[in-house]
Amino acid sequence: MGFELLAGTKAPVRVWTDPYGIEPQAAQQLRNIGQLPWVEGVAVMPDVHFGKGATVGSVIAMRQAVSPAAVGVDIGCGMSAVRTSLTAASLPDDLGTLRTAIEATIPVGFAQRGREVDTRRVRDLDQKGWDWFWSRFATLHDGVSGLESRAHHQMGTLGGGNHFIEVCVEQGGPDDGQVWLMLHSGSRNIGKELAERHMAVARKLPHNTHLPDRDLAVFLAGTPEMEAYRRDLWWAQEYARRNREVMMALLCDVVRQHLPQVTYGQPISCHHNYVAEETYGGVEVLVTRKGAIRAGEGDLGIIPGSMGTGSYIVRGRGNTEAYCSASHGAGRRMSRAKAKKTFTTEDLVAQTAGVECRKDTGVVDEIPAAYKDIDEVMKQQEDLVEVVAHLKQVVCVKG
């Protein structure tokens, strides 16, 4: 499908779903964004839903400005996936053993490592730039220096909520039955700390006084506040990327220990909460993607569904109307609180049949029915991406 315009905004807000089906809170957030004087345009992905500060599933192009809330608190959150040489027939009958081994190797939820991971000893991990990366911690926002030890101990850990590690099997096509490894995680607590500190600074700046929503406060190019934010933003995005690389290398080694014949292809990795400098129609803009991936022509990306419905590997079509973007997943159709009130562990067991995963009260808020239909979401963005592979998980690890 193509886009529709959301009414009542100054800048164009293009929507890749039914604009009348967007929840009222999210629609108001989008209208507020479209009123900001620095906004060139907004693209709204089919997984759109209300988010803290700014809408999840929104791509915002600004001239000489950026809103920290339009990036989100989990700076650099994103996906990684790698195709293996294994087929479904290669997997053991008891997938519980494999899941237990993954959980023993990669801390999940609020857990951090008792001793930081020695990246020099992680097999097949890119060793370039680690010392320089960690040396940059001293340049970050005042007051976060006390969090350095925690940042070290959370490197190579998953987190909770909708973050996951999966073993998936390709569905259909010439590679039917091929096994993939996939994970979703971000910058852990340090990204959140940096984001919230910068949001607080932005709200107090005089040029943000009369905004329709102070949560959308921006930093302006050429100011010390903007430079400080972009410095910390880059570092957090890099932390998130390296965090996923460490976990993927560890995950690959766990699978190798169980199935020594395995070999791996080239990993795919993409942020979906981040900022990029891009040019459209000759205009240089700062593009924030909050719950959206870059889908430039030929770009490979990952769009997950839920813990029971599978995911898609995609290739971008380079649609400039959407600022070369696509959805970051299925998107929630109900809040976590509502999901916990609506569904039971019995519902979770039924909806995750055939998947080796947690099936307890702690993850009921992640039940597949709390998310939109991933296949419908994919249909709504056929002009943004083409499907490379459809994957179905057989193991899902959550915090």
pLDDT per residue over 384-396, tens digit each?
999 999 999 999 9
Are 295 and 319 in contact, with CB atoms under 8 Å apart?
A: yes
Dist CA 202 CA 305 (whole Å):
34
Inter-helix orientation angle 188-203/224-258, to 10°? 160
Whole-number pLDDT of residue 7: 87
Q: Using the predicted structure, report yes or no on whether residue 399 has a pLDDT greater than 90.
A: no
* pLDDT tier for residue 37 given thresholds of 50, 70 and 90: very high
Q: Which two tokens stand for residue 182?
A: 């996939």
For 265-283, how does the pLDDT look when each residue is reduced to its tens digit (9 = 90+)?
A: 999 999 999 999 999 999 9
Q: Is 328 a catalytic residue?
A: yes
C-alpha of 224 from chain center = 28
**Residues of the chain above pLDDT 90, percent:** 96
Q: What is the mean pLDDT of the chain?
A: 96
Q: Using the predicted structure, report yes or no on whether residue 380 has a pLDDT greater than 90.
A: yes
Whole-number pLDDT of residue 225: 98
Dist CA 62 CA 222 (whole Å):
14
Dist CA 107 CA 111 (whole Å):
6
Whole-number pLDDT of residue 394: 98
Q: Using the predicted structure, report yes or no on whether residue 128 has a pLDDT greater than 90.
A: yes
Q: Using the predicted structure, report yes or no on whether residue 40 has a pLDDT greater than 80.
A: yes
In this prediction, residues 163-175 reach a mean pLDDT of: 96
**Residues of the chain above pLDDT 70, percent:** 100
| H or E element that contains 327 | strand 325-327
Q: Using the predicted structure, report yes or no on whether residue 330 has a pLDDT greater than 70.
A: yes
Q: Using the predicted structure, report yes or no on whether residue 1 has a pLDDT greater than 80.
A: no
Q: Using the predicted structure, report yes or no on whether residue 5 has a pLDDT greater than 80.
A: yes
Beta strands in 50-177 (DSSP E): 56-62, 65-66, 78-87, 164-170
Q: Which two tokens stand for residue 31?
A: 């209208």
Are 217 and 69 in contact, with CB atoms under 8 Å apart?
A: yes
- What type of residue is 87? T
In this prediction, residues 287-303 reach a mean pLDDT of: 98
Q: Using the predicted structure, report yes or no on whether residue 323 has a pLDDT greater than 70.
A: yes
Q: Using the predicted structure, report yes or no on whether residue 27 has a pLDDT greater than 80.
A: yes
Query: 222-260 in b/e burial notation, b at 16+ Cβ within 10 A?
Result: eeeebebbbebbebbbbbbbbbbbbbbbbbbebbbeebe
Given 49, 198, 272, 328, the catalytic residue:
328
In this prediction, residues 327-356 reach a mean pLDDT of: 97
In this prediction, residues 96-116 reach a mean pLDDT of: 96
- In terms of C-beta density within 10 A (0-12 exposed, 13-18 middle, 19 or more buried), how is residue 202 classed? buried
Q: Which two tokens stand for residue 396?
A: 């899902």
